[in-house]
Every structure is written in structure tokens, then in C-alpha cells.
């Protein structure tokens, strides 16, 4: 499997959309959704371009979402598969998944959750920063009110 970068996938999908007379700006949500899910389903670990693309994508799925839900993101997801995935060999027989396959899926799920937690950590950091700013502002205003109260008492 190839390991395209975020920019390569955006360029490919923009060209695809342009060839179908769709404005890239009107399809940004669908494009980012397709890139996110393609990267999430196909990355080979934290050092891969696809993992980086997943983390940098502008799309943030809901906690219960597991794939693109709407027709355009699904169409773009399929185009990414056609462009960047080699054809898969046909299985010889239907058997239970091998332990390694289950472990690989577990690792992928774990990496996905790690990425989500990193995103939440960044959001929490921003909230904490804003709360500290607000606290400082309140302390400053409280100090000024205390100074005004003392001034009025001395009159």
C-alpha cells in the first residue's frame, strides 16, 4: 500500500472534484472527511504519512462514527482507495481472522484513540489557558475594587 501525504490526497481529490465540475471550496468538508477515514483505516503507525494526515485533517468525527456517512464523502473515500491502494488478492478460503489481524486492528484502534486523546488534550490546554486568563482578570478587577473601597472609606 502506498503512504500518500495529506497534500497528495487533497491535490488528488481537488483534481477529481474539478473534473466533475464541483467547486473545491463547496466540497472541503466531504474531502476532509474522506481523507480522515481513508487515513484512519489504512495508516501503518505513527511514523506514516497517513497517520499524520489523519491527525492533521480538518475533520473531527463524532464518537459513534466509524466511516463516512454521506454520499459525497463516501464517493471521495472510494476514489482514494482506487488511487492509492493496490488491488487486493482474493482470499483462498474463508477462515476466522488470524490473531495477528486482530492485533493489527487493535493497534490501529489504539492509535486512533491516542490521536483523539491528543486532540482533546490540546483543547483542554486551550480551555485551561483561557481559565487562567479569566482568573487573572478577575483578580485584577478585585484588586481595583479593593483599592476603590479603601479610597471611599478614607473620604
Residue whose entry in the numeric block shows the C-alpha cell 497517513: 50
Task: Encode pLDDT of 21-75 as tens digits.
Answer: 877 566 888 999 999 999 999 999 999 999 999 999 888 888 888 888 788 999 9
d(CA 117, CA 131): 20
Which are the contacts of 104, defined by CB distance < 8 A and separation ≥ 6? none
The packing angle between helices 6-19 and 71-84, to 10°, is: 120
Report the pLDDT averaged over residues 2-31. 86
**pLDDT at res. 10:** 92
Domain boundaries, the chain: 1-87, 107-155
Task: Encode pLDDT of 101-135 as tens digits.
Answer: 667 776 777 666 766 666 666 666 666 666 677 77
Least confident of 29-38, 74-83, 86-95: 86-95
**pLDDT at res. 40:** 92
**pLDDT at res. 127:** 65
Amino acid at each position: 500500500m502506498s503512504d500518500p501525504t495529506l497534500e497528495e490526497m487533497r491535490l488528488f481529490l481537488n483534481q477529481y472534484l474539478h473534473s466533475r465540475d464541483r467547486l473545491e471550496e463547496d466540497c472541503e468538508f466531504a474531502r476532509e472527511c474522506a481523507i480522515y477515514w481513508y487515513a484512519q483505516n489504512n495508516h501503518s503507525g505513527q511514523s506514516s504519512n497517513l497517520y499524520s494526515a489523519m491527525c492533521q485533517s480538518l475533520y473531527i468525527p463524532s464518537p459513534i462514527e466509524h466511516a463516512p456517512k454521506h454520499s459525497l464523502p463516501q464517493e471521495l473515500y472510494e476514489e482514494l482507495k482506487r488511487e492509492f491502494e493496490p488491488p487486493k488478492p482474493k482470499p483462498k478460503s474463508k477462515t476466522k481472522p488470524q490473531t495477528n489481524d486482530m492485533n493489527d486492528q487493535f493497534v490501529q484502534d489504539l492509535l486512533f484513540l491516542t490521536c483523539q486523546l491528543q486532540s482533546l488534550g490540546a483543547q483542554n490546554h486551550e480551555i485551561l489557558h483561557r481559565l487562567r486568563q479569566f482568573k487573572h482578570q478577575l483578580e485584577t478587577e478585585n484588586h481595583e475594587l479593593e483599592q476603590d473601597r479603601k479610597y471611599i472609606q478614607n473620604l
